[in-house]
Amino acid sequence: MISKEELKKLEKLAKLKFQDDEIEQFNSQLNDILEYMKELDELDLSSSDPMLNPLSSVNFFRDDKVEKAFSVDEILKNAPSAFDRYFVVPKVI
Amino acid sequence: MIEKPLHELLDLIDKKEITAKDIFNELLKHIEQRNADINAYISVIENFEQKGSVLNGLPIAIKDNIMLKGTKTTCASKMLSNFESIYDATVIEKLKQAGANFIGKTNMDEFAMGSSCETSFFGPVNNPWDKTRVSGGSSGGSAAAVASGLAIAALGSDTGGSIRQPASFCGVVGLKPTYGRVSRFGLVAFASSLDQIGPIARDVKDASLLLNIIAGFDPKDSTSVNVEAPNYLEALSEDLKGVKIGVYESVLQSAPDYIVRSVENAIDTYKKLGAIVQKIDLPHIKYSISDYYILACAEASSNLARFDGVKYGFRAKGESLEEMYVNTRSEGFGAEVKRRIMLGTYVLSSGYYDAYYVRSLRLRNLIKKDFDNAFRQVDAIILPTTPSDAFKIGEVTKPLDMYLSDTFTIPANLAGIPAISLPCGFSKNNLPLGLQILSNAFREDILLRIAYAFEQQHDFHKKIPIME
């Protein structure tokens, strides 16, 4: 089950922050789900290969040539904050 | 008029009895009068263009996680509530080439995560058969629109049942194609190895017509498959002599009586049509829900990492970049999305990766092998779409209970096989029930034939909810 400390670690990884009043309920919901998933522990899966994709997939490449892409205006269209050809964000350093 | 399926309207247009523009305008009028009641649409499109080709200008409704250039694609989330698409999804390009107009972007569960449309930032979609009940999810807006005459046909997306379950709850046809049959380019990704776009329509013929248009290899989607798509309309037939249909008993044991009866009635219909019905077994299927939620949440946690307030979407205040990221994501995402991201992050994190994620990949392989075995014995498998009729809005409060309602639809996504839901009856609450049919990968031809044959023996698909 997920402890409070592990939850804090996950928050950092996921870049999420839960409010104090949410965290209790959230923890118990997550643990409910993990409890249900314990049914998988009884399975012997050693003889089965991991399957990432239901198709036997073949990688698809394209030629390394420059193709038509989007204009700067289109790329910046949905930017919350932009200047010239840049996305503007809070100071990093 | 707007209650007729696409193929009938196309006939009438051919005979010059109506025009696509008439249909479009009538739909708009109906949306104006009724959409507030159902909340099927997040945005409505009012521009109509004269077009020819297969669809002759008829309008299609599009789920709001599919890019349609010039429209908002919100994924029913605060995170993208102002996001405007700058390109068309491949399915949209194909629809445009086929002469489609677009009537609007339909409501859904936030980022396609849900089975009821209750997680939408724009409010739930009300079931047109009973407005106190859910339309299902996550393509609830598309299904409710088609069911209530607010759309003629629509596109949805299906990751764990999100086309089929709302289709079942709303009494319409919903098809999830084989994984790789339809391009995902332009579909906002939830779980990349499970997502598929598919049609939601009034009948099987319409679903086949739309599949013809959207199916096909796309170099912009490296998971799409270069397998020729047949003409699915030519597959439709009522002759099922020699066709083998499988039923797996444990499903029928776990469902309530009225659901079991709907499948038993379907078995009777199939026997009457000359099909051979036999038992099959899928030994690992009972672990599907656990398997799915580990894999889907893992993939979602990765796919949704891009929403950070930098290049597009909602941005919250923050003193530093890090704070901006955290505040943006915490305020921009709803509770269910955050829950799934956390679960996904957990199962992928160091120390748990092998125990959860890798084991789930191995189990997925076993589930696929179960289906491979079954399809050596039968051409298709039938089962219910859902374990109940549409539940009331607000009734299902525990996330785990909501996940358990996907029990019949999830296996097809894990195995990558095509699956369809079509109306097969009504519950004693007068709510639609859905029959689900599965077939082997790239065998939508036999799937649609078996669906069509059943449909034509009944008139469930002709029933429309009464709208005052």
With an 8 Å Cβ cutoff, is A92 touching chain B? yes
With an 8 Å Cβ cutoff, is A77 touching chain B? yes
Interface probe, candidates B74, B194, B368, B400, chain A, greatest A C-beta count within 10 A: B400
Cβ atoms within 10 Å, residue A91: 7
Q: Are residues B64 and B13 in the same domain?
A: yes
Which residues, 6+ apart, have CB-to-CB distance to B279 below 8 Å?
A: B246, B247, B248, B249
- The mean pLDDT of B157-173, rounded to a whole number, is 98
Span A56-73, pLDDT tens digits: 677 788 889 998 889 999
Beta strand residue intervals within B364-418, DSSP E: 380-384
CA dist B265 and B245 (Å) reads 14
Q: Are residues B336 and B452 in the same domain?
A: no
CA dist B5 and B149 (Å) reads 10
With an 8 Å Cβ cutoff, is B360 touching chain A? yes
If we measure between CA atoms, which residue out of B160, B209, B214, B206 comes closest to residue B184? B214
With an 8 Å Cβ cutoff, is B277 touching chain A? no
Q: Are residues B300 and B182 in the same domain?
A: no
Amino acid at B221: D
pLDDT band at B395 (very low <50, low <70, confident <90, very high): very high
CA dist B285 and B251 (Å) reads 10
Q: Are residues B49 and B156 in the same domain?
A: yes
- The mean pLDDT of B182-204, rounded to a whole number, is 98
Which residues, 6+ apart, have CB-to-CB distance to B141 below 8 Å?
A: B39, B40, B41, B42, B61, B63, B64, B106, B107, B108, B117, B125, B135
- The mean pLDDT of B305-311, rounded to a whole number, is 97
Closest chain A residue to the Cα of B411, Cα to Cα: A54
B306: containing domain: 285-364
Q: Are residues B358 and B397 in the same domain?
A: no
Q: Are residues B326 and B409 in the same domain?
A: no
pLDDT band at B15 (very low <50, low <70, confident <90, very high): very high
Contact A43 B287 (CB under 8 A): yes
- The mean pLDDT of B190-208, rounded to a whole number, is 98
Q: Are residues B455 and B391 in the same domain?
A: yes
In a domain, B266, yes or no: no
Q: Are residues B102 and B127 in the same domain?
A: yes
- The mean pLDDT of B378-404, rounded to a whole number, is 96
- Measured CA to CA in angstroms, residue B341 lies from A21, B219, B269, B301, B403 at distances of 19, 29, 44, 4, 15
Residue B120 scores a pLDDT above 60: yes
Contact B326 A17 (CB under 8 A): yes
Q: Are residues B322 and B195 in the same domain?
A: no
In a domain, B151, yes or no: yes
Amino acid at B238: E
- Per-residue tokens: B105: 């972007």
- The mean pLDDT of B135-148, rounded to a whole number, is 97
Which of B364, B386, B412 is where one domain is finished?
B364
pLDDT at B68: 98
pLDDT at A52: 86
- The mean pLDDT of B66-90, rounded to a whole number, is 98
Interface probe, candidates A2, A11, A17, A37, chain B, greatest B C-beta count within 10 A: A37
Chain A residues within 8 A of B363 when measuring between CB atoms: 40, 43, 45, 48
CA dihedral B446, B447, B449, B453 (to 10 degrees): 140
pLDDT at B253: 86
Which of B344, B364, B384 is where one domain is finished?
B364
- The mean pLDDT of B150-176, rounded to a whole number, is 98
pLDDT at B467: 66
With an 8 Å Cβ cutoff, is B172 touching chain A? no
Which residues, 6+ apart, have CB-to-CB distance to B319 below 8 Å?
A: A90
Residues 55-114 of B with CB under 8 A from A: 82-84, 86-87
- The mean pLDDT of B311-327, rounded to a whole number, is 97
B14: left (phi over 0), alpha (psi -120 to 50) or beta: alpha
Span B227-261, pLDDT tens digits: 999 999 999 999 999 999 999 888 888 899 999 99
For chain B, percent of residues with pLDDT exceeding 70:
100
Three-class SS of residue B154?
strand
Asked if residues B177 and B218 have their Cβ atoms less than 8 Å apart, the reply is: no
In a domain, B278, yes or no: no
With an 8 Å Cβ cutoff, is A45 touching chain B? yes
Contact A80 B315 (CB under 8 A): yes
- Per-residue tokens: B427: 């519950």
Contact B179 A13 (CB under 8 A): no
pLDDT band at B468 (very low <50, low <70, confident <90, very high): low
In a domain, B369, yes or no: no
Span B407-439, pLDDT tens digits: 999 999 999 999 999 999 999 999 999 999 999
| pTM of this prediction exceeds 0.90 | yes
Beta strand pairing status for B59-63 and B154-158?
Answer: parallel
Measure B394 CA to nearest chain A CA, in Å. 17
What CATH number corresponds to the domain at position B18?
A: 3.90.1300.10
A-B interface: how many C-beta pairs under 8 angstroms? 160
Q: Tokens 């670690």 — which residue?
A: A9
- Higher local confidence (pLDDT), B466 or B369: B369
Contact B345 A36 (CB under 8 A): no
- If one counts the domains in chain B, the total is 2
Contact B219 A60 (CB under 8 A): yes
If you ran DSSP here, which 8-state letter would residue B224 be given? Answer: S
Q: Flag the least confident range among A24-38, B56-70, B383-397, B431-445.
A: A24-38
Amino acid at B74: T
In a domain, B126, yes or no: yes
CA dist A69 and B132 (Å) reads 47
Q: Tokens 């609830």 — which residue?
A: B140
CA dist B197 and B214 (Å) reads 9
In a domain, B161, yes or no: yes
In a domain, B263, yes or no: no
Q: Are residues B15 and B146 in the same domain?
A: yes
In a domain, B390, yes or no: yes
Closest chain B residue to the Cα of A39, Cα to Cα: B287
Asked if residues B109 and B137 have their Cβ atoms less than 8 Å apart, the reply is: yes
pLDDT at A60: 81
Where do the H-state alpha helices sit in B161-287? 164-170, 204-214, 249-254, 257-272
Catalytic residue (one of B162, B183, B262, B421):
B162
- Per-residue tokens: B208: 């086949």
- The mean pLDDT of B140-162, rounded to a whole number, is 98
Query: In DSSP terms, which residues pair with B432 in a beta bridge?
Result: B426
CA dist B467 and B3 (Å) reads 12
Contact B400 A33 (CB under 8 A): yes
Catalytic residue (one of B77, B85, B120, B138):
B138
Which residues, 6+ apart, have CB-to-CB distance to A64 below 8 Å?
A: none
Q: Mean pLDDT over all residues of chain B?
A: 96
Catalytic, B288? Answer no
Residue B304 scores a pLDDT above 70: yes
Contact A36 B327 (CB under 8 A): no
pLDDT band at A53 (very low <50, low <70, confident <90, very high): confident
With an 8 Å Cβ cutoff, is B345 touching chain A? yes
Which of B336, B364, B392 is where one domain is finished?
B364
With an 8 Å Cβ cutoff, is B15 touching chain A? no
Catalytic, B138? Answer yes
For residue B146, give the H/E element and its range.
Answer: helix B140-147
pLDDT band at A76 (very low <50, low <70, confident <90, very high): very high
Three-class SS of residue B347?
helix
Which residues, 6+ apart, have CB-to-CB distance to B431 below 8 Å?
A: B127, B129, B130, B133, B169, B389, B390
Residues 110-139 of B with CB under 8 A from A: none
Q: Are residues B342 and B395 in the same domain?
A: no
Contact A37 B398 (CB under 8 A): no
If we measure between CA atoms, which residue out of B432, B428, B419 comes closest to residue B459? B432
Q: Tokens 């099927």 — which residue?
A: B40
The answer to whether the complex's ipTM is over 0.90 is yes
Which residues, 6+ apart, have CB-to-CB distance to B391 below 8 Å?
A: B116, B133, B134, B405
- The mean pLDDT of B193-204, rounded to a whole number, is 98
Sign, CA dihedral B251-A1-B115-B304, equals: negative
Residues 46-75 of A with CB under 8 A from B: 48-55, 57, 59-60, 62, 70, 74-75
Q: Are residues B357 and B454 in the same domain?
A: no
If you ran DSSP here, which 8-state letter would residue B218 be given? Answer: -
The rounded Cα B348 to chain-centroid distance in angstroms is: 27
Which of A40, A50, A91 faces B365 most closely, judged by CB atoms? A50
pLDDT at B107: 98
